[in-house]
């Protein structure tokens, strides 16, 4: 991969001579998002676009080409082919499948195109992953729930989109924690597609079926809905449940003194991937190889965690933002550069 990335840098970099104010380097990067069912994805794209704009202050012109739509896997493969036809230097993708892109990524690599996945890992040896460890993301909040319950209690789980690679890794993460506790009984696991309304309905159904629930492990995008159902059932004081990172949920948390904790999957992961991509296109080499994860091609980012110990600080950070805004973090250009020789 090192040889291929060096070739990409050589092909993608050019020097503009003699023109005052001209960019010394110029790259075109395709951003593919195959699901638009949440504002989190919109914020992800916006933060990546802002990261691209920030490079201009350093004399690097980063043009982003965005394809963002609800598509199946073949539709997102078409995104990649469109980028290849447009002559991009790099592709950053939030993929709808961990394995289905191997052939098309191989074709992109053969054209000297750098491929980075984010938010969900991919199996392709022709790509790297820059993002959080989704398994560890779930494990952190599951551990918080287990600790809060004292290692005993009846728990339900509300998951995202069935079959999505990030969702599956999260299921594996919380399962690995709850399996360590003989006193924790997982009563049921349901899917609510990362949708608040569906999360609320799922929680209502679970409460009707299991009135003695002690804890709820719910993924972000649905926690606000789940907590509304808990509050409507007048069980706020009886149930501990994980939370999410959106401003509207953080407001609910503050107003109702919830017993909650939340791992943060920041929308800035695509911006982080973009900043890493630019340094790779410049021919820089990572100090530590991207060889983590189940496919041995991951560069993991830190996972922030919100609970009672830092809640006020986080809540203050989103003050004035719209309700759908997610608390976020990203590798700045300087942060990304620190990863390279």
Distances (CA, A) of 187 to 83, 169, 175, 196, 213: 45, 20, 12, 21, 8
- For 209-252, the pLDDT digits (tens) are 999 999 999 998 899 999 999 999 999 999 999 999 999 899 99
pLDDT mean over 121-149: 97
Question: Residue 174 phi/psi, 5° resolution?
Answer: -75, -30
Question: Residue 37: what pLDDT?
Answer: 80
Question: Residue 10: what pLDDT?
Answer: 37
Give pTM, 2 decimals.
Answer: 0.87
Question: Residue 22: what pLDDT?
Answer: 63
Give percent of the chain with pLDDT exceeding 90.
Answer: 87
Question: Residue 189 phi/psi, 5° resolution?
Answer: -130, 125
pLDDT mean over 175-190: 98
Say yes or no: do domains 2-132+266-303+327-337 and 134-263 share a fold. Answer: yes
pLDDT mean over 70-86: 97
Domain ranges of the chain: 2-132+266-303+327-337, 134-263
Burial of 15 (0-12, 13-18, 19+ CB in 10 A): exposed
Q: Which of 81, 124, 84, 121 is nearest to 102 (CA)?
A: 124
Taking 60 as the threshold, does the pLDDT of residue 4 lie above it?
no
CATH architecture, domain 134-263: 3-Layer(aba) Sandwich (3.40)
CA distance 1 to 106: 12
**Apex 123 CA angle, 117 and 125, nearest 5:** 85
Question: Residue 334: what pLDDT?
Answer: 98
- Quick one: DSSP state of residue 68? E
Give percent of the chain with pLDDT exceeding 70.
Answer: 94
Q: Is 143 helix (H, G, I), strand (E, B) or coil?
A: helix
Q: Which helix (H) or strand (E) holds 254?
A: helix 247-256
Question: Residue 283: what pLDDT?
Answer: 96
Binned at pLDDT 50, 70 and 90, residue 292 comes out as very high
Question: Residue 9: what pLDDT?
Answer: 40
Question: Residue 164: what pLDDT?
Answer: 86
Question: Residue 165: what pLDDT?
Answer: 85
Look up residue 262 and give its two tokens: 């939340």
Mean pLDDT of the chain: 92
pLDDT mean over 278-292: 97
pLDDT mean over 50-69: 96
User: Is CATH 3.40.50.720 correct for 2-132+266-303+327-337?
Assistant: no
Residue 221 near residue 264 (C-beta atoms within 8 A): no
Taking 50 as the threshold, does the pLDDT of residue 17 lie above it?
no
Q: Contacts by 9-18 with C-beta closer than 8 Å and gap 24+? A: 9/280, 9/281, 9/282, 9/283, 10/283, 11/89, 11/112, 12/89, 12/90, 12/112, 12/281, 13/281, 13/282, 13/283
pLDDT mean over 319-325: 94
Question: Residue 18: what pLDDT?
Answer: 32
Task: Output the DSSP codes for 105-121.
Answer: HHHHHHTT-EEEE-SS-
Taking 70 as the threshold, does the pLDDT of residue 75 lie above it?
yes
């Amino acid at each position: 991969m090192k040889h291929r990335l060096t070739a990409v840098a050589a092909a993608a970099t050019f020097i503009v001579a003699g023109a005052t104010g001209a960019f010394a380097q110029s790259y075109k990067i395709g951003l593919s998002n195959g699901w638009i069912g949440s504002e989190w994805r919109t914020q992800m794209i916006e933060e990546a676009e802002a990261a691209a704009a920030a490079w201009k202050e350093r004399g690097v012109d980063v043009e982003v080409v965005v394809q963002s739509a609800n598509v199946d896997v073949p539709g997102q493969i078409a995104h990649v082919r469109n980028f290849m036809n447009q002559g991009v230097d790099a592709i950053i993708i939030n993929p709808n499948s961990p394995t289905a892109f191997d052939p098309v990524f191989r074709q992109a690599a053969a054209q000297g195109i750098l491929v980075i996945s984010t938010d969900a890992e991919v199996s392709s040896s022709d790509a790297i992953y820059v993002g959080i460890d989704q398994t560890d993301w779930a494990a952190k909040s599951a551990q918080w729930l287990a600790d809060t319950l004292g290692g005993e209690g009846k728990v339900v789980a509300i998951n995202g989109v069935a079959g999505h690679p990030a969702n599956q890794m999260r299921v594996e993460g919380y399962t690995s924690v709850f399996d360590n506790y003989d006193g924790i009984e997982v009563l049921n696991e349901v899917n609510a597609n990362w949708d608040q309304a569906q999360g609320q309905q799922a929680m209502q159904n679970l409460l009707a079926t299991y009135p003695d629930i002690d804890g709820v492990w719910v993924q972000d995008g649905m926690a606000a809905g789940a907590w509304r159902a808990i509050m409507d059932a007048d069980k706020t004081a009886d149930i501990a449940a994980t939370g999410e990172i959106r401003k509207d949920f953080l407001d609910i948390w503050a107003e109702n003194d919830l017993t909650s904790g939340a791992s943060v999957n920041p929308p800035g992961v695509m911006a982080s991937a973009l900043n890493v991509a630019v340094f790779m296109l410049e021919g820089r080499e990572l100090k530590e190889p991207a060889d983590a994860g189940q496919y041995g091609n991951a560069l993991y980012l830190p996972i922030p965690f919100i609970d009672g110990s830092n809640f006020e600080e986080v809540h203050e950070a989103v003050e004035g933002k719209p309700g759908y805004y997610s608390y976020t973090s990203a590798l700045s250009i300087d942060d990304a550069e620190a990863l390279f020789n």
